[in-house]
Amino acid sequence: MTKLRPQFVLFGDSITQLSFENGGWGAALAALYSRQADVILRGYRGYNTSWALLILDKIFPELSSPPDVVTVFFGANDAALPVPDGKHFHVPLPQYKANLHQIVSHIKSNSETTVVVLITPPPLDDEAWIEFRRANYNKQPEALPDRINEVTKLYAQACKEVAKEACVPVIDLWSVFQQTQNWRQAYLIDGLHLSVGGNRIVFNELVNVLNDILFLRADKLPMDFPPFGDIDPKNPGVAFQSWENNSNLAKVNILDW
């Protein structure tokens, strides 16, 4: 079935899953494109790229109308350390990079015109994350950390390398956050997950990609169905017929905009 509107799929871990909560970057994107595109959430708490590969065919099956934009936002869990508390999530760095390549290739194999946007993991506030684990998971002070920011940095760099090698855009969240002096307090709530401010940064960076690189401005994409001001209440069918005659939404290729 042909799509009425372009589809944006947000694929990732808990940072993506939480993005539709109040103040989330996914919710803000859906609001921005409320009459121009369908924003579809596919976020999975605790997932790494190896587990993402196991559901890839289910999320992105071979379709006659594949999504137009896909964000791929994994790495925060992959970067967990191979210690008792982190090995459940840990994916070795070379494997993480290979997994990202496979995810991008699979999405592109269904449609070369699908735009894939990679997002690096955000930086980790080591101390705040340790305190969060102690308070919520009863971890003792001497317990080994399951994540550290210096390792997350390596995964962020690998994500950028994949983007360059695959010729897809990337949002370097690890670096962008740290351009603000008080980024730990401003952008994170527990050392790992995003505050409203952090969500706003992701939203702004993604909109910049859609606007400046891919020309997917919300104000340039056509609306689905006529605005209420164009509808004559005495003869409403005229406006809808005019929209039908002048709109080609069912066959819109977003790369034309």
Split at pLDDT 50, 70, 90, the class of 248 is low
Query: Are 166 and 104 within 8 A, CB to CB?
Result: yes
Question: Rounded to an integer, what distance in angstroms lies between the CA atom of residue 151 and that of residue 93?
Answer: 9
Q: What is the pLDDT of residue 68?
A: 92
Residue 253 has pLDDT above 50, yes or no: no
Q: Report residue 59 as tokens.
A: 């999320």
Torsion of CA 14, 16, 17, 23, to 10 degrees: 110
Given 14, 50, 64, 247, which residue is catalytic? 14
**Residues above pLDDT 90, as percent of the chain:** 75
**pLDDT one-digit tens code per residue, 150-168:** 999 999 999 999 999 999 9
Residue 213 has pLDDT above 90, yes or no: no
Stretch 50-54: mean pLDDT, rounded?
98
Stretch 39-55: mean pLDDT, rounded?
98
Identify residue 111 by its one-letter amino acid code: S
Domain boundaries, the chain: 7-221, 226-257
Q: What is the pLDDT of residue 154?
A: 98
Stretch 226-240: mean pLDDT, rounded?
90
Residue 110 has pLDDT above 50, yes or no: yes
Q: What is the pLDDT of residue 160?
A: 98
Q: Report residue 183 as tokens.
A: 């980024």
Active site residue 14: yes
Nearest to 44 by CA among 78, 80, 86, 11: 11
Split at pLDDT 50, 70, 90, the class of 256 is very low
Quote the pTM value.
Answer: 0.92
Q: What is the pLDDT of residue 180?
A: 97
**pLDDT one-digit tens code per residue, 135-154:** 888 777 667 799 999 999 99
Right CATH for 7-221 from 3.40.50.1110, 1.10.1040.10, 3.40.50.40, 1.10.1200.10: 3.40.50.1110
**pLDDT one-digit tens code per residue, 54-95:** 999 999 998 778 999 999 999 999 999 999 888 999 999 999
What integer best gives the mean pLDDT of the chain? Answer: 91
Split at pLDDT 50, 70, 90, the class of 121 is very high
Sign of the Cα torsion 100, 102, 106, 111 reads: positive
The backbone torsions φ and ψ at residue 216, rounded to the nearest 5 degrees and listed phi first, read -110, 40
Stretch 104-133: mean pLDDT, rounded?
95
Nearest to 97 by CA among 159, 142, 55: 159
